[in-house]
Amino acid sequence: MALTIGEIAKRAGIGLETVRFYERKGLIEEPPRTDSGYRQYPEDVVARLRFISRAKDLGFSLKEIAELFSLRVDPDTTCADIKRRAEAKITTIEEKIRDMQGIQGALSKLAASCSGSGPAGDCPILEALDSQEKDW
C-alpha cells in the first residue's frame, strides 16, 4: 500500500514540502511514481522520517543524519563506529553547554551589578559593555 506525499508527511508529523526537501538533500530515496508522476511511498519511509526527526531532536544536523544513514548501509560499519559518532556529538554538545554557562554566568554577574534604578546612561551593564576590559 503506497502512500502519497501528503499522507506520509502527515504520518511523520512534518510538512510535505519538508519531505521533498529531504529528498533533494538525499535523506530519503526518490520513491517510485505513478503514471501521472505522483510519488508513491512505501510505508517504512514514515519510520525513516521519524528517525530524522528524532536525530534532529538529539542535536544532529541533516548532514550528520545523512552520514548516519550511509554508515548504516555500509556493511563494514560496526556498532563501534556509530558509538563513536554519538560520543563525538556528546562532546560537542558538552562544549556548547559549557559555553552557554559561561555566557549565563557573565550576564548574571552584569545583571546583579545593576541596581535597576536610575537612567540608562549610568547603567553598569552598558558600562561593562563599553569598557575595554572584559573581566567576565
55 sits near DNA (criterion: CB under 7 A): no
DSSP-assigned letter for residue 121: G
Q: How big is the CA angle at 22 (ends 20 and 24), to the nearest 5 degrees?
A: 70
CB of 70 to DNA, least distance (A): 15
4 sits near DNA (criterion: CB under 7 A): yes
Q: Rounded to whole angstroms, how far apart are CA atoms 126 and 122?
A: 8
For a second copy, the binding residues (CB under 8 A) are: 47, 50-51, 54-55, 57-59, 68, 71-72, 74-75, 77-83, 86-87, 89-90, 93-94, 96-97, 100-101, 103-104, 106-108, 110-111, 114-123, 125-126, 129-130, 132, 134
Amino acid at 60: F
CB of 88 to DNA, least distance (A): 15
Residue 103 interaction partner, one of a second copy, DNA, none, beta carbon < 5-8 Å per kind: a second copy
Count the alpha carbons within 13 Å of 68 in the hemisphere toward its beta carbon. Answer: 22
Count the alpha carbons within 13 Å of 134 in the hemisphere toward its beta carbon. Answer: 8
